[in-house]
Structure 1
C-alpha cells in the first residue's frame, strides 16, 4: 500500500482512507477487504465527490466478499497477457506444448481485441454470444469444430490464470460450447495408391539431380514410410524426434521399435510396423555424424540428434514441398474420395485407415498409438465402419473355411 500523506481523510470509522498521490490532482482511496488491500482512483478532484465514490466502492467490495466474488478485479486483456506470458515462457524453455502457439495466436487475434477492456468477471453468456457472431464475421464463415476447440482451450487458459490469481472464483467461469461444423473427411491413400506411391519413389529419386536435391528425395522416401507405418504427426512429432527417443527391443524372437513422440499433445509411445527399423537404419547410414557407429550401439548412446535430417545433420523444412512435387509427378496429388490435395499429414490418416480396416485394430488401441482421443478417432473415421464390418455384413466369414479366411486376411493385411 502507498504511504499516506498528512492530508489523508478517514471515512466509515477508519475503514476507508482518501488521499492524494504526490503531483496528482485526483483523490485516491484505499481500504482492506478480507486481508486484501484495495486501492482505487476516485477520478474526482473535488474532495466531497471523491468521498462519495470511495464509500460506494467500499460497500461494493464488501458486497463482493460477502457473496463469494473476487475482491480484486482485472480486465480481460490484463489476465490474457499474463496467460500468454506464461505459455511463452514454457515454449522458450522447450517445455511448452506446440499448441500453445495456436492459443497465443487466437488470444491476440480474437479474444483480446473483443474482450480487452471488459473485466474478467463481466464476461457472461450474452457477451460470449456477441463474440461468437463477431468472430464469424472476422473469419468470414462459421469456424469449424477443431478451430473452436483451440479457441475454447485458449480461453480456458485465461480463466485458469484468473482463478489461480484470485481474480475470479471457479464457479463464475463461463461455460464454453462447441457447435462448430464437424470436421470434413480427410484425404488419405487407398492401399492401391499407397503401393503405387512406394513403387514410384525409388525411380523418382533416381531422376533427381545430385547433391542436396537427391539427399532430400532419399530422406523423403524414409520419412513417408515411417509416418505411414507409425501414425506419427508430420511437423510436430516428427520434428521433435531424436535418436534418444528410439528404442529397439526383442520379444519372442521378434524385433520391435518403440518411438517416444511429443508435440501437439502430451507425450506418448508408438510401436512401428514391420519395416520401420529398416527405414531408420537407412537414415542412420546416410547421416555423416553417426553412420560409422553400429546402428544398435548408436541407439544405446541415446544421442540428442534429430532423426529426420540430411547427411550433414541439418533439418530441412521443405519436405512438404518436395512431397507435393513428387505426388504431382506421380499423378497422386488429388484424393479421389475427398477432392482435396493429399499432404504429408495424409499419411497419418492412411495409417489410421489401414489399422482400422486392414488390421482390425480397435479404436482404444489406435487412440493410444496415435496419441489422440477415442472421440477423435470415432469422429474422423466413422465412415469406415461398413468396411470394418464387411465380413459380417456379407457373411464371408462363415462362407470360407478357417484356413481360407486366414489366408484372405493375410493378403488384405499386406502392406508394402
Structure 2
C-alpha cells in the first residue's frame, strides 16, 4: 500500500487525499475517477477550507463521470488534447480537413509548451502578447502571415473546445491578431520564359547520358508541362495521380480531359488544358508494361498504376533535382521579378498567372481548379490586378490571340 506523508489528510472514506507540496502553503487534492487520477490545487491555505473545496470538487467530478461528461481540468493542456483527439478522429474517419495535421503540430510544438499549465479561463491579452514574443524567440525570426494564420486557427480550435464544454464563455475568448510579414510574391515564368523553356527541353534531353538519366529528363519534361497545364500541386497531388484517375469525356462534340487529384485539400476534379493529353500519351508510350494497351482503352480500364513513372515502372521522387539542373543550365533558375530561385512549384504559379491574364478565368473558378481559397488567390496574385482590369481602365475591348501560345504548347 502506498505510504502517505504525515501531512496528508484522508476524506470521504479514503476517496480524497488533501496534502501540501514541499515549500507550498496551499493545499492540494487528489482522487481517482474512472481510473484517472485527478490532481487539483484547492488554492486554500486553511486546512478546513481546503477539505471542503476538495470534497466539493470530488463530487463534481463524480457527477460528470456519471453523466458521461469529460473528466478533464480547465488546464490549457487538457483542453488542447481534447481538441487534438477530436481532430484526429475526424481525420481517421476521412471527414477532417488536411490542415488539421498542421493544427496538431502547432498545438503540440508551440501552444501546449507555453500555455499548458494555465487555465483556459486565465489566458488574456497580455499572456497572448507574451506568447508572441516567446514564439518569435523560439522560431528565431518573425513568422510569416501564413504561419500566424495556422497558429491562430489552431488556438481557436482549443478555445472552441473550451466553449463547447462550458469551460469558457464565447465572449471571453481572447482576440488573436495577425501582424506577420506578408508572404512574398511567388516566382513563376512569363510567357516568353515559358516558351524558352519548352523550346530548350528537347535538345537538353538529347544531351543526357543514355539510360536512366535520359529517362528522367523525358519524364521531367512531361511532368513540367502537365503541372503548367493543370495547376496541380507538385509532390503529393502529382505523385498520387494514377491512370484510373484520368478520364476523357465529350460534351457538345468537344473532347475534355479530366483528372481527379488528391493531396493537401482532399480530392477534387480538375479540367486540363487541351495539350495535356499529348504529354500523357508520351508517358504511356514509354511505359513498357502498358504501352501495348491503346491509350483510350487504358483510361477506360481504370488501370491502377502511377502516371508519373519511368519506363521500367519506377516512381522517382527526384524530379525536382532534374528540373533544377535544367533551369540552372538554361539560365532560367532565378526569377528576375522576385529574385527567388524557381522550383517545380513555380509551374503551379505560372498556371495561375496564365489563367488570370491569358484565359480570363475568374478568381472563383481558379480557386476551385487549384484547390485553394479565393483569399489565397487574391493575396498572392493581387499584383496582376492592373493588367486584369486593363480593358476597363483603358476603355478598350482587348482579345488576346492564343495562336502563338497554343503552337508553343503543341511543340512541347
* C-alpha contact 1:261 1:268 (8 A) present in aligned 2: yes
* C-alpha contact 1:43 1:50 (8 A) present in aligned 2: no
- Give SS of 2:202's match: helix
Which of the residues 29, 53, 57 maps onto 1:56?
53
Distance (Å, rounded) in 1 between the aligned partners of 2:199 and 2:325: 16
* C-alpha contact 1:17 1:29 (8 A) present in aligned 2: no
For residues 265-294 of structure 1, the C-alpha deviation after alignment (integer angstroms, 9 at most, x for no partner) is: 133221100111111122222223322222
Shift of 1:168: 3.4
- Give SS of 1:132's match: helix
* C-alpha contact 1:142 1:180 (8 A) present in aligned 2: yes
The yes-or-no answer on 1:359 pairing with 2:359 is yes
Change (3 A) 1:38 1:308: closer
Change (3 A) 1:77 1:279: same
Q: TM-score, with normalisation over the residues of structure 1?
A: 0.79
Residue of structure 2 equivalent to 1:239: 239
Residue of structure 1 equivalent to 2:167: 168
* C-alpha contact 2:120 2:168 (8 A) present in aligned 1: no
* C-alpha contact 1:42 1:50 (8 A) present in aligned 2: no
Shift of 1:169: 4.7
Q: CA RMSD in A?
A: 3.8
* C-alpha contact 2:31 2:58 (8 A) present in aligned 1: no
* C-alpha contact 1:246 1:259 (8 A) present in aligned 2: yes
Change (3 A) 1:208 1:29: closer
Shift of 1:346: 0.8
Change (3 A) 1:82 1:243: farther
- Give SS of 1:267's match: strand
Change (3 A) 1:40 1:98: closer
Shift of 1:217: 1.0
* C-alpha contact 2:187 2:335 (8 A) present in aligned 1: yes
Change (3 A) 1:63 1:87: closer
Alignment map for 1:9-408 (pairs within 5 Å): 9-10=11-12, 19=16, 40-41=38-39, 51-57=48-54, 72-81=72-81, 83-84=83-84, 98-159=98-159, 166=165, 168-169=167-168, 171=170, 173-397=173-397, 408=400
Change (3 A) 1:56 1:290: same
* C-alpha contact 2:98 2:266 (8 A) present in aligned 1: no
Q: TM-score, with normalisation over the residues of structure 2?
A: 0.80
Shift of 1:410: 3.6
For residues 72-120 of structure 1, the C-alpha deviation after alignment (integer angstroms, 9 at most, x for no partner) is: 4243334444555665677788886554443343333322221222234
Change (3 A) 1:27 1:119: closer
Shift of 1:152: 2.3
Shift of 1:154: 2.9
Shift of 1:179: 2.4
Distance (Å, rounded) in 1 between the aligned partners of 2:169 and 2:221: 51
Distance (Å, rounded) in 1 between the aligned partners of 2:215 and 2:245: 23
Shift of 1:192: 0.2
* C-alpha contact 1:38 1:72 (8 A) present in aligned 2: no
Which stretch of structure 1 is more off in the superposition, 302-311 or 71-80?
71-80
- Give SS of 2:247's match: strand
Distance (Å, rounded) in 1 between the aligned partners of 2:89 and 2:206: 46
* C-alpha contact 1:201 1:221 (8 A) present in aligned 2: yes
- Give SS of 1:257's match: strand
Shift of 1:360: 1.1
- Give SS of 1:182's match: coil
Shift of 1:347: 0.7
Query: Gaps (5+ residues) in structure 1?
Result: 1-6, 11-15, 398-404
For residues 216-235 of structure 1, the C-alpha deviation after alignment (integer angstroms, 9 at most, x for no partner) is: 11111111111100111111
- Give SS of 2:197's match: helix
- Give SS of 2:401's match: helix
Residue of structure 2 equivalent to 1:409: 401
- Give SS of 1:409's match: coil
Shift of 1:147: 0.9
Change (3 A) 1:373 1:9: closer
- Give SS of 1:255's match: strand
* C-alpha contact 1:145 1:178 (8 A) present in aligned 2: yes
Distance (Å, rounded) in 2 between the aligned partners of 1:83 and 1:63: 22
- Give SS of 1:262's match: strand
